[in-house]
Structure 1
Amino acid sequence: MKTTSAPHSESASFDGLSVSVVVFRPDVDQLVATLASLGTSCATLRQQRPDLPLALFLIDNGGLPENLAVIGLLRAQGVVVRVVAGHGNIGYGRGHNLAITRSNSRYHLVLNPDIELAPEALAQALNFFDAHSEVGLITPWIGDDDGHQQFLCRRYPSLWDLFVRGFLPARLRKLFAHRLARYEMRDRVNARDTVWDPPIVSGCFMFFRTVALKQLDGFDPRYFLYFEDYDLSLRAHDVTRVVYVPSVRVLHHGGGAARKGRAHIRMFIASAYKFFNRFGWKWL
Protein backbone atom coordinates (compact mmCIF):
# COMPACT_ATOMS: atom_id res chain seq x y z
CA MET A 1 0.00 0.00 0.00
CA LYS A 2 2.80 2.44 0.85
CA THR A 3 5.02 4.24 -1.60
CA THR A 4 8.14 6.22 -0.95
CA SER A 5 8.07 9.96 -1.38
CA ALA A 6 8.53 11.09 -4.96
CA PRO A 7 10.39 14.22 -6.08
CA HIS A 8 8.43 17.44 -5.69
CA SER A 9 8.22 17.89 -9.44
CA GLU A 10 5.89 14.90 -9.69
CA SER A 11 2.24 15.95 -9.61
CA ALA A 12 -1.24 14.55 -9.91
CA SER A 13 -2.52 15.79 -13.28
CA PHE A 14 -6.22 16.44 -12.91
CA ASP A 15 -8.51 19.42 -12.70
CA GLY A 16 -10.69 18.36 -9.80
CA LEU A 17 -10.52 18.14 -6.01
CA SER A 18 -7.59 16.85 -4.01
CA VAL A 19 -7.50 16.21 -0.26
CA SER A 20 -4.48 15.79 2.00
CA VAL A 21 -4.51 14.05 5.37
CA VAL A 22 -1.33 13.86 7.46
CA VAL A 23 -1.08 11.07 10.03
CA PHE A 24 1.42 10.18 12.75
CA ARG A 25 0.63 7.16 14.91
CA PRO A 26 -3.06 7.72 14.26
CA ASP A 27 -6.06 6.57 16.24
CA VAL A 28 -7.07 3.96 13.68
CA ASP A 29 -10.78 3.96 14.48
CA GLN A 30 -10.91 7.74 14.20
CA LEU A 31 -8.92 7.75 10.96
CA VAL A 32 -11.26 5.16 9.47
CA ALA A 33 -14.25 7.28 10.50
CA THR A 34 -12.67 10.35 8.89
CA LEU A 35 -11.91 8.58 5.61
CA ALA A 36 -15.33 6.90 5.54
CA SER A 37 -17.03 10.29 5.97
CA LEU A 38 -14.82 11.69 3.22
CA GLY A 39 -15.95 8.86 0.95
CA THR A 40 -19.60 9.57 1.72
CA SER A 41 -19.14 13.28 1.06
CA CYS A 42 -17.34 12.49 -2.22
CA ALA A 43 -20.26 10.27 -3.24
CA THR A 44 -22.72 13.10 -2.56
CA LEU A 45 -20.53 15.48 -4.55
CA ARG A 46 -20.44 13.03 -7.45
CA GLN A 47 -24.23 13.18 -7.69
CA GLN A 48 -23.88 16.84 -8.70
CA ARG A 49 -20.55 16.58 -10.53
CA PRO A 50 -20.21 13.04 -11.87
CA ASP A 51 -17.08 13.79 -13.91
CA LEU A 52 -15.12 15.62 -11.20
CA PRO A 53 -11.78 13.89 -10.54
CA LEU A 54 -11.13 13.21 -6.85
CA ALA A 55 -7.84 12.35 -5.18
CA LEU A 56 -6.64 11.72 -1.63
CA PHE A 57 -3.03 12.14 -0.54
CA LEU A 58 -2.53 10.18 2.67
CA ILE A 59 0.75 11.44 4.12
CA ASP A 60 2.30 8.88 6.47
CA ASN A 61 4.60 10.63 8.94
CA GLY A 62 4.83 7.29 10.75
CA GLY A 63 2.60 4.58 12.14
CA LEU A 64 0.00 4.25 9.39
CA PRO A 65 -1.34 0.66 9.51
CA GLU A 66 -1.01 -1.51 6.45
CA ASN A 67 -4.00 -2.50 4.35
CA LEU A 68 -6.69 -0.23 5.74
CA ALA A 69 -9.91 -1.52 4.20
CA VAL A 70 -11.35 1.99 3.99
CA ILE A 71 -8.69 2.91 1.40
CA GLY A 72 -9.97 0.16 -0.85
CA LEU A 73 -13.51 1.47 -0.39
CA LEU A 74 -12.41 4.97 -1.41
CA ARG A 75 -10.74 3.60 -4.52
CA ALA A 76 -13.87 1.63 -5.34
CA GLN A 77 -15.78 4.94 -5.17
CA GLY A 78 -13.46 6.41 -7.80
CA VAL A 79 -11.16 8.34 -5.47
CA VAL A 80 -7.50 8.12 -6.50
CA VAL A 81 -5.59 7.37 -3.28
CA ARG A 82 -1.86 8.02 -3.02
CA VAL A 83 -0.04 7.04 0.16
CA VAL A 84 3.17 9.04 0.56
CA ALA A 85 5.60 7.50 3.04
CA GLY A 86 9.26 7.04 3.83
CA HIS A 87 10.05 10.64 4.82
CA GLY A 88 9.67 10.25 8.61
CA ASN A 89 7.86 12.60 10.95
CA ILE A 90 8.44 15.95 9.26
CA GLY A 91 5.58 17.78 10.98
CA TYR A 92 2.04 18.77 10.07
CA GLY A 93 2.60 21.62 7.64
CA ARG A 94 5.52 20.05 5.78
CA GLY A 95 3.50 16.85 5.49
CA HIS A 96 0.64 18.67 3.78
CA ASN A 97 3.15 20.48 1.57
CA LEU A 98 4.17 17.11 0.12
CA ALA A 99 0.64 16.81 -1.24
CA ILE A 100 0.24 20.46 -2.21
CA THR A 101 3.33 20.38 -4.43
CA ARG A 102 2.09 17.22 -6.14
CA SER A 103 -1.43 18.39 -6.86
CA ASN A 104 -2.67 20.24 -9.93
CA SER A 105 -6.27 20.19 -8.77
CA ARG A 106 -8.57 23.18 -8.95
CA TYR A 107 -9.45 22.79 -5.27
CA HIS A 108 -7.47 21.38 -2.35
CA LEU A 109 -8.76 20.43 1.08
CA VAL A 110 -6.38 20.33 4.06
CA LEU A 111 -8.04 17.85 6.41
CA ASN A 112 -7.27 16.55 9.90
CA PRO A 113 -7.52 12.82 10.62
CA ASP A 114 -9.94 13.62 13.47
CA ILE A 115 -12.62 15.31 11.34
CA GLU A 116 -15.89 13.80 10.14
CA LEU A 117 -17.51 15.50 7.17
CA ALA A 118 -21.24 15.90 6.73
CA PRO A 119 -22.43 14.16 3.54
CA GLU A 120 -23.09 17.52 1.85
CA ALA A 121 -19.93 19.27 3.06
CA LEU A 122 -17.88 19.06 -0.13
CA ALA A 123 -20.82 19.84 -2.41
CA GLN A 124 -21.78 22.88 -0.33
CA ALA A 125 -18.22 24.19 -0.41
CA LEU A 126 -17.84 23.83 -4.18
CA ASN A 127 -21.23 25.46 -4.73
CA PHE A 128 -20.04 28.42 -2.67
CA PHE A 129 -16.81 28.64 -4.65
CA ASP A 130 -18.84 28.65 -7.88
CA ALA A 131 -21.00 31.50 -6.62
CA HIS A 132 -18.10 33.61 -5.29
CA SER A 133 -15.09 33.76 -7.57
CA GLU A 134 -13.27 36.08 -5.17
CA VAL A 135 -13.11 33.40 -2.43
CA GLY A 136 -9.95 31.33 -2.11
CA LEU A 137 -10.33 29.77 1.35
CA ILE A 138 -13.45 28.36 3.04
CA THR A 139 -13.70 27.41 6.69
CA PRO A 140 -16.75 25.41 7.90
CA TRP A 141 -19.11 25.18 10.84
CA ILE A 142 -17.27 22.87 13.24
CA GLY A 143 -18.99 20.80 15.91
CA ASP A 144 -17.62 18.84 18.86
CA ASP A 145 -18.34 15.26 19.94
CA ASP A 146 -21.74 16.36 21.27
CA GLY A 147 -22.63 18.36 18.18
CA HIS A 148 -22.12 21.73 19.87
CA GLN A 149 -20.42 24.42 17.83
CA GLN A 150 -16.70 24.92 18.26
CA PHE A 151 -15.68 28.53 17.71
CA LEU A 152 -12.44 28.11 15.77
CA CYS A 153 -12.48 31.35 13.81
CA ARG A 154 -10.21 33.72 15.69
CA ARG A 155 -9.14 37.31 16.00
CA TYR A 156 -5.43 37.97 16.39
CA PRO A 157 -4.42 36.50 19.76
CA SER A 158 -2.53 37.94 22.66
CA LEU A 159 -0.27 35.75 24.76
CA TRP A 160 -2.81 36.03 27.57
CA ASP A 161 -5.64 34.80 25.30
CA LEU A 162 -3.63 31.72 24.39
CA PHE A 163 -2.68 30.99 27.99
CA VAL A 164 -6.23 31.37 29.30
CA ARG A 165 -7.80 29.27 26.55
CA GLY A 166 -5.16 26.57 26.39
CA PHE A 167 -3.90 26.10 29.93
CA LEU A 168 -6.27 27.41 32.59
CA PRO A 169 -8.72 24.91 34.12
CA ALA A 170 -12.36 25.35 33.11
CA ARG A 171 -13.43 26.90 36.43
CA LEU A 172 -10.85 29.69 36.01
CA ARG A 173 -11.50 30.16 32.31
CA LYS A 174 -15.03 31.22 33.21
CA LEU A 175 -13.56 34.38 34.76
CA PHE A 176 -12.37 35.42 31.29
CA ALA A 177 -15.44 34.31 29.34
CA HIS A 178 -16.06 37.73 27.77
CA ARG A 179 -12.46 38.07 26.64
CA LEU A 180 -12.37 34.57 25.16
CA ALA A 181 -15.70 35.12 23.41
CA ARG A 182 -14.23 38.11 21.61
CA TYR A 183 -11.08 36.17 20.65
CA GLU A 184 -13.27 33.33 19.31
CA MET A 185 -15.48 35.78 17.38
CA ARG A 186 -18.64 34.62 19.12
CA ASP A 187 -20.16 38.05 18.45
CA ARG A 188 -20.10 37.30 14.70
CA VAL A 189 -19.86 33.54 14.16
CA ASN A 190 -22.98 31.40 14.48
CA ALA A 191 -24.66 28.44 12.80
CA ARG A 192 -26.54 30.56 10.24
CA ASP A 193 -24.61 33.54 8.91
CA THR A 194 -21.74 33.68 6.45
CA VAL A 195 -18.82 35.67 7.89
CA TRP A 196 -16.37 37.29 5.51
CA ASP A 197 -12.66 37.57 6.23
CA PRO A 198 -12.24 36.09 9.71
CA PRO A 199 -8.58 36.84 10.51
CA ILE A 200 -7.62 33.29 11.52
CA VAL A 201 -9.28 29.95 10.73
CA SER A 202 -8.61 26.41 11.89
CA GLY A 203 -6.21 24.10 10.10
CA CYS A 204 -8.40 21.08 10.80
CA PHE A 205 -10.40 21.87 7.62
CA MET A 206 -9.05 24.47 5.19
CA PHE A 207 -10.70 24.31 1.76
CA PHE A 208 -8.66 26.23 -0.83
CA ARG A 209 -8.68 27.14 -4.42
CA THR A 210 -5.36 25.52 -5.22
CA VAL A 211 -4.09 28.52 -7.16
CA ALA A 212 -4.24 30.60 -3.96
CA LEU A 213 -2.64 27.85 -1.89
CA LYS A 214 0.24 27.51 -4.35
CA GLN A 215 0.66 31.27 -4.47
CA LEU A 216 1.23 31.09 -0.70
CA ASP A 217 3.67 28.14 -1.11
CA GLY A 218 1.53 26.15 1.29
CA PHE A 219 2.41 25.99 4.96
CA ASP A 220 5.52 27.62 6.40
CA PRO A 221 7.82 24.62 7.09
CA ARG A 222 9.37 26.32 10.11
CA TYR A 223 6.38 25.25 12.23
CA PHE A 224 6.57 21.59 13.21
CA LEU A 225 3.15 21.56 14.89
CA TYR A 226 0.79 24.33 16.07
CA PHE A 227 0.34 27.84 14.65
CA GLU A 228 1.00 26.79 11.07
CA ASP A 229 -2.70 27.39 10.40
CA TYR A 230 -2.60 30.81 12.11
CA ASP A 231 0.34 31.74 9.89
CA LEU A 232 -1.28 30.48 6.69
CA SER A 233 -4.60 32.16 7.53
CA LEU A 234 -3.02 35.57 7.99
CA ARG A 235 -0.99 35.26 4.79
CA ALA A 236 -4.05 34.08 2.84
CA HIS A 237 -5.68 37.50 3.27
CA ASP A 238 -2.88 38.97 1.14
CA VAL A 239 -3.93 36.98 -1.93
CA THR A 240 -7.63 36.08 -1.61
CA ARG A 241 -10.87 36.33 0.39
CA VAL A 242 -11.41 34.03 3.36
CA VAL A 243 -14.94 33.12 4.41
CA TYR A 244 -16.75 31.15 7.10
CA VAL A 245 -19.57 29.15 5.47
CA PRO A 246 -21.88 27.47 8.04
CA SER A 247 -23.63 25.33 5.43
CA VAL A 248 -20.34 23.40 5.17
CA ARG A 249 -20.43 21.21 8.27
CA VAL A 250 -17.92 18.92 10.01
CA LEU A 251 -17.32 17.40 13.43
CA HIS A 252 -13.95 17.75 15.15
CA HIS A 253 -12.75 15.20 17.69
CA GLY A 254 -9.39 16.82 18.51
CA GLY A 255 -8.02 18.17 21.79
CA GLY A 256 -5.76 21.00 22.92
CA ALA A 257 -2.01 20.93 23.47
CA ALA A 258 -2.24 21.06 27.27
CA ARG A 259 -4.28 17.84 27.30
CA LYS A 260 -1.69 15.97 25.19
CA GLY A 261 1.28 16.16 27.53
CA ARG A 262 4.53 18.04 28.01
CA ALA A 263 5.95 17.38 24.56
CA HIS A 264 2.97 19.08 22.95
CA ILE A 265 3.19 22.00 25.37
CA ARG A 266 6.85 22.49 24.37
CA MET A 267 5.93 22.37 20.66
CA PHE A 268 3.09 24.82 21.26
CA ILE A 269 5.40 27.30 22.98
CA ALA A 270 8.11 26.97 20.31
CA SER A 271 5.60 27.58 17.52
CA ALA A 272 3.98 30.48 19.36
CA TYR A 273 7.40 32.14 19.60
CA LYS A 274 7.93 31.79 15.84
CA PHE A 275 4.43 33.08 15.12
CA PHE A 276 4.67 36.22 17.26
CA ASN A 277 8.18 36.94 16.04
CA ARG A 278 6.82 36.98 12.50
CA PHE A 279 3.52 38.80 12.93
CA GLY A 280 4.06 40.89 16.05
CA TRP A 281 3.86 40.38 19.79
CA LYS A 282 0.63 41.15 21.61
CA TRP A 283 0.86 40.60 25.36
CA LEU A 284 -2.54 41.60 26.75
Structure 2
Amino acid sequence: MDKIKTSACIVAYGGYEEVVKAASSVLSYTKDTELSLYVVDNASPDGTGARLEAADFGGPVDVICRKTNDGFGTGHNTVLKQLTSKYHAVVNPDITLDTDAISALCFWMEEHPDVVMTTPRLRFPDGRDQYTAKRTPSLLALMARQLPLPFLKSVERHYLMLDEDLTRPQLIDFCTGSFFVIRTEVFQKMGGFDESYFMYVEDADITRKAQQYGKVMYVPITYVYHAWHRDANKKWKNFWMQIRSMFHYWRKWGFRLF
Protein backbone atom coordinates (compact mmCIF):
# COMPACT_ATOMS: atom_id res chain seq x y z
CA MET A 1 0.00 0.00 0.00
CA ASP A 2 1.37 3.43 -0.96
CA LYS A 3 2.25 5.78 1.87
CA ILE A 4 0.41 9.07 2.27
CA LYS A 5 2.41 11.88 0.66
CA THR A 6 3.36 14.59 3.13
CA SER A 7 5.49 17.69 2.94
CA ALA A 8 7.04 20.04 5.46
CA CYS A 9 8.66 23.46 5.29
CA ILE A 10 11.08 25.26 7.60
CA VAL A 11 11.78 28.96 7.04
CA ALA A 12 15.23 30.11 8.15
CA TYR A 13 16.64 33.52 8.98
CA GLY A 14 20.06 32.88 10.45
CA GLY A 15 20.44 30.19 13.10
CA TYR A 16 22.13 27.65 10.84
CA GLU A 17 22.76 25.02 13.52
CA GLU A 18 19.21 25.20 14.84
CA VAL A 19 17.75 24.84 11.33
CA VAL A 20 19.89 21.80 10.57
CA LYS A 21 18.86 20.21 13.88
CA ALA A 22 15.17 20.81 13.17
CA ALA A 23 15.34 19.53 9.59
CA SER A 24 17.38 16.48 10.57
CA SER A 25 14.90 15.53 13.29
CA VAL A 26 11.96 15.87 10.88
CA LEU A 27 13.74 13.58 8.40
CA SER A 28 14.81 11.10 11.06
CA TYR A 29 11.39 10.58 12.62
CA THR A 30 8.92 11.01 9.74
CA LYS A 31 8.88 7.40 8.56
CA ASP A 32 5.25 6.32 8.22
CA THR A 33 4.42 8.81 5.45
CA GLU A 34 6.28 9.76 2.26
CA LEU A 35 7.92 13.08 3.14
CA SER A 36 9.21 15.93 1.00
CA LEU A 37 11.09 18.48 3.12
CA TYR A 38 11.78 22.08 2.12
CA VAL A 39 14.03 24.60 3.84
CA VAL A 40 13.56 28.20 2.70
CA ASP A 41 16.24 30.72 3.63
CA ASN A 42 14.77 34.23 3.94
CA ALA A 43 17.87 36.07 2.66
CA SER A 44 19.82 35.54 5.89
CA PRO A 45 22.53 38.23 6.07
CA ASP A 46 25.04 35.90 7.75
CA GLY A 47 25.44 33.40 4.91
CA THR A 48 23.10 30.80 6.39
CA GLY A 49 21.51 30.15 2.99
CA ALA A 50 24.76 29.07 1.33
CA ARG A 51 25.65 26.91 4.33
CA LEU A 52 22.25 25.22 4.20
CA GLU A 53 22.69 24.46 0.50
CA ALA A 54 25.87 22.56 1.40
CA ALA A 55 24.57 20.98 4.62
CA ASP A 56 24.20 17.28 5.34
CA PHE A 57 20.73 16.82 6.82
CA GLY A 58 20.89 13.04 6.80
CA GLY A 59 18.37 12.85 3.95
CA PRO A 60 17.02 14.76 0.95
CA VAL A 61 16.08 18.40 1.52
CA ASP A 62 15.10 20.95 -1.10
CA VAL A 63 16.86 24.17 -0.01
CA ILE A 64 15.51 27.38 -1.55
CA CYS A 65 17.34 30.68 -1.02
CA ARG A 66 15.21 33.80 -1.37
CA LYS A 67 16.83 37.05 -2.47
CA THR A 68 14.77 39.16 -0.05
CA ASN A 69 13.30 38.70 3.40
CA ASP A 70 9.60 39.41 2.98
CA GLY A 71 8.47 37.78 6.20
CA PHE A 72 7.55 34.47 7.78
CA GLY A 73 4.39 33.82 5.79
CA THR A 74 5.94 34.80 2.46
CA GLY A 75 8.81 32.42 3.17
CA HIS A 76 6.40 29.53 3.69
CA ASN A 77 4.36 30.51 0.63
CA THR A 78 7.51 30.10 -1.48
CA VAL A 79 6.79 26.36 -1.80
CA LEU A 80 3.01 26.67 -2.08
CA LYS A 81 2.60 26.03 -5.81
CA GLN A 82 5.00 23.09 -6.00
CA LEU A 83 3.40 21.01 -3.25
CA THR A 84 1.96 17.68 -4.40
CA SER A 85 1.36 16.22 -0.93
CA LYS A 86 -1.92 15.44 0.79
CA TYR A 87 -0.81 17.02 4.07
CA HIS A 88 1.68 19.82 4.70
CA ALA A 89 3.50 20.68 7.93
CA VAL A 90 4.63 24.19 8.85
CA VAL A 91 7.65 23.80 11.13
CA ASN A 92 9.61 26.45 13.02
CA PRO A 93 13.40 26.17 13.06
CA ASP A 94 13.25 25.89 16.88
CA ILE A 95 11.18 22.69 16.66
CA THR A 96 12.64 19.21 17.14
CA LEU A 97 11.01 15.79 16.97
CA ASP A 98 11.77 12.53 18.74
CA THR A 99 8.66 10.75 17.46
CA ASP A 100 6.76 10.64 14.17
CA ALA A 101 4.42 13.50 15.04
CA ILE A 102 3.73 14.48 11.43
CA SER A 103 2.51 11.03 10.41
CA ALA A 104 0.48 10.66 13.61
CA LEU A 105 -1.44 13.87 12.88
CA CYS A 106 -1.94 12.89 9.23
CA PHE A 107 -3.39 9.50 10.21
CA TRP A 108 -5.67 11.20 12.76
CA MET A 109 -6.90 13.61 10.09
CA GLU A 110 -7.54 10.68 7.74
CA GLU A 111 -10.03 9.46 10.35
CA HIS A 112 -11.54 12.94 10.78
CA PRO A 113 -12.24 14.28 7.27
CA ASP A 114 -14.01 17.38 8.63
CA VAL A 115 -10.74 18.58 10.22
CA VAL A 116 -8.47 20.64 7.97
CA MET A 117 -5.73 21.77 10.36
CA THR A 118 -4.16 20.34 13.52
CA THR A 119 -1.47 21.11 16.05
CA PRO A 120 -0.14 18.67 18.69
CA ARG A 121 1.11 19.20 22.22
CA LEU A 122 4.19 21.41 22.34
CA ARG A 123 6.84 20.88 24.97
CA PHE A 124 9.83 22.86 26.12
CA PRO A 125 13.15 21.03 25.56
CA ASP A 126 13.11 19.98 29.23
CA GLY A 127 9.76 18.24 28.73
CA ARG A 128 7.45 20.81 30.34
CA ASP A 129 4.23 21.46 28.46
CA GLN A 130 3.67 24.69 26.59
CA TYR A 131 0.09 25.88 26.45
CA THR A 132 -0.58 26.48 22.77
CA ALA A 133 -4.30 25.73 22.38
CA LYS A 134 -5.82 29.21 22.16
CA ARG A 135 -9.10 31.02 21.79
CA THR A 136 -9.61 34.04 19.53
CA PRO A 137 -7.01 36.79 20.25
CA SER A 138 -8.28 39.75 22.26
CA LEU A 139 -6.74 42.91 23.67
CA LEU A 140 -6.88 41.66 27.25
CA ALA A 141 -5.41 38.31 26.22
CA LEU A 142 -2.50 40.07 24.54
CA MET A 143 -1.93 42.15 27.67
CA ALA A 144 -2.12 39.04 29.85
CA ARG A 145 0.58 37.33 27.77
CA GLN A 146 2.93 40.32 28.02
CA LEU A 147 2.26 41.79 31.47
CA PRO A 148 2.56 39.77 34.72
CA LEU A 149 -0.46 41.40 36.36
CA PRO A 150 -2.46 39.27 38.83
CA PHE A 151 -5.88 40.49 37.67
CA LEU A 152 -5.13 39.24 34.14
CA LYS A 153 -4.35 35.66 35.18
CA SER A 154 -7.94 34.49 34.66
CA VAL A 155 -7.97 36.12 31.22
CA GLU A 156 -4.80 34.27 30.28
CA ARG A 157 -6.18 30.95 31.54
CA HIS A 158 -9.32 31.39 29.45
CA TYR A 159 -7.30 32.43 26.38
CA LEU A 160 -5.02 29.38 26.74
CA MET A 161 -8.07 27.12 27.19
CA LEU A 162 -6.86 25.92 30.59
CA ASP A 163 -10.53 25.70 31.57
CA GLU A 164 -10.87 22.80 29.08
CA ASP A 165 -9.64 19.20 29.19
CA LEU A 166 -6.47 19.49 27.12
CA THR A 167 -5.78 15.77 27.32
CA ARG A 168 -8.47 15.40 24.64
CA PRO A 169 -8.77 16.89 21.14
CA GLN A 170 -10.31 20.36 21.25
CA LEU A 171 -11.55 22.86 18.69
CA ILE A 172 -9.30 25.93 18.71
CA ASP A 173 -9.49 29.43 17.22
CA PHE A 174 -5.75 30.11 17.11
CA CYS A 175 -3.41 27.41 15.80
CA THR A 176 0.23 28.10 16.62
CA GLY A 177 2.49 28.76 13.64
CA SER A 178 5.35 26.98 15.40
CA PHE A 179 4.10 23.61 14.21
CA PHE A 180 0.90 22.58 12.47
CA VAL A 181 -0.30 20.15 9.83
CA ILE A 182 -2.81 21.29 7.22
CA ARG A 183 -4.49 19.63 4.27
CA THR A 184 -2.38 20.75 1.32
CA GLU A 185 -5.42 21.29 -0.90
CA VAL A 186 -6.85 23.72 1.65
CA PHE A 187 -3.48 25.45 2.14
CA GLN A 188 -3.30 26.04 -1.61
CA LYS A 189 -6.95 27.07 -2.02
CA MET A 190 -6.64 29.74 0.66
CA GLY A 191 -3.42 31.06 -0.91
CA GLY A 192 -1.26 30.12 2.05
CA PHE A 193 -0.38 32.80 4.58
CA ASP A 194 -1.52 36.41 4.24
CA GLU A 195 1.73 38.07 3.14
CA SER A 196 0.69 41.48 4.48
CA TYR A 197 1.90 40.24 7.88
CA PHE A 198 5.68 40.34 8.15
CA MET A 199 5.88 38.40 11.40
CA TYR A 200 3.53 37.59 14.31
CA VAL A 201 -0.20 36.83 14.30
CA GLU A 202 -0.14 35.43 10.75
CA ASP A 203 -0.84 32.09 12.40
CA ALA A 204 -4.03 33.42 14.00
CA ASP A 205 -4.98 34.80 10.60
CA ILE A 206 -4.42 31.55 8.72
CA THR A 207 -6.44 29.74 11.38
CA ARG A 208 -9.41 31.97 10.62
CA LYS A 209 -9.00 31.27 6.90
CA ALA A 210 -8.76 27.52 7.52
CA GLN A 211 -11.97 27.58 9.58
CA GLN A 212 -13.81 28.54 6.39
CA TYR A 213 -12.96 25.06 5.05
CA GLY A 214 -13.39 22.90 8.14
CA LYS A 215 -12.40 22.38 11.76
CA VAL A 216 -9.09 23.42 13.32
CA MET A 217 -8.11 21.28 16.27
CA TYR A 218 -5.59 20.81 19.04
CA VAL A 219 -4.78 17.08 18.97
CA PRO A 220 -2.68 15.90 21.94
CA ILE A 221 -2.07 12.37 20.65
CA THR A 222 1.54 13.33 19.96
CA TYR A 223 4.00 16.15 20.70
CA VAL A 224 6.99 18.10 19.43
CA TYR A 225 9.65 20.09 21.26
CA HIS A 226 9.69 23.88 20.86
CA ALA A 227 12.55 26.02 22.16
CA TRP A 228 10.28 29.13 21.98
CA HIS A 229 12.68 32.09 21.99
CA ARG A 230 9.83 34.60 22.60
CA ASP A 231 11.67 37.55 21.03
CA ALA A 232 8.56 39.71 21.40
CA ASN A 233 9.06 39.51 25.17
CA LYS A 234 12.76 40.41 24.97
CA LYS A 235 13.11 42.99 22.19
CA TRP A 236 11.07 46.19 21.88
CA LYS A 237 11.32 46.08 18.08
CA ASN A 238 9.71 42.66 18.01
CA PHE A 239 7.13 43.64 20.60
CA TRP A 240 5.94 46.61 18.54
CA MET A 241 5.95 44.44 15.41
CA GLN A 242 3.63 42.06 17.26
CA ILE A 243 1.36 44.96 18.30
CA ARG A 244 1.13 46.21 14.69
CA SER A 245 0.32 42.71 13.46
CA MET A 246 -2.34 42.33 16.13
CA PHE A 247 -4.09 45.53 15.08
CA HIS A 248 -3.86 44.44 11.45
CA TYR A 249 -5.57 41.17 12.47
CA TRP A 250 -8.35 43.05 14.30
CA ARG A 251 -8.95 45.35 11.32
CA LYS A 252 -9.39 42.27 9.16
CA TRP A 253 -11.37 40.00 11.49
CA GLY A 254 -12.91 42.34 14.05
CA PHE A 255 -11.75 43.73 17.40
CA ARG A 256 -12.24 41.81 20.66
CA LEU A 257 -11.65 43.26 24.11
CA PHE A 258 -11.95 39.89 25.93
Q: What is the TM-score with the length of structure 1 in the denominator?
A: 0.82
Deviation, structure 1 residue 138: 1.0
State the distance in 2 between where 1:269 and 1:74 align. Answer: 39
Structure 1 gap segments, 5+ residues each: 1-14
Contact 2:117-2:182 at 8 Å conserved across structures: yes
Contact 2:140-2:155 at 8 Å conserved across structures: no
Per the alignment, residue 86 of structure 1 pairs with 66
Per the alignment, residue 109 of structure 2 pairs with 129
Deviation, structure 1 residue 244: 1.3
Partner of 1:140: helix, strand, or coil? Answer: strand
Per the alignment, residue 25 of structure 1 pairs with 14
Contact 1:32-1:70 at 8 Å conserved across structures: no
Q: Does 1:38 align with 2:26?
A: yes
Partner of 1:163: helix, strand, or coil? Answer: helix
Per the alignment, residue 42 of structure 2 pairs with 61
Q: What is the TM-score with the length of structure 2 in the denominator?
A: 0.90
Deviations 1:178-224 (A, max 9, x none): 2210000112252x3111x2111100112011011112111001000
Partner of 2:241: helix, strand, or coil? Answer: helix
Structure 2 gap segments, 5+ residues each: none
State the distance in 2 between where 1:228 and 1:73 align. Answer: 28
Per the alignment, residue 244 of structure 2 pairs with 270
Query: Structure 1 98/223 Cα, relative in aligned 2: closer, same or farther at 3 Å?
Result: same
Q: Does 1:194 align with 2:182?
A: no
State the distance in 1 between where 2:66 and 2:173 align. Answer: 35
Deviates more, 1:130-139 or 1:253-262: 253-262
Deviation, structure 1 residue 91: 0.3
Partner of 1:101: helix, strand, or coil? Answer: helix
Aligned residues: 253
Per the alignment, residue 113 of structure 1 pairs with 93
Deviations 1:108-127 (A, max 9, x none): 11110001123221221122
State the distance in 1 between where 2:74 and 2:165 align. Answer: 30
Deviates more, 1:156-165 or 1:87-96: 156-165
* Structure 2 residue identity aligned to 1:256: R
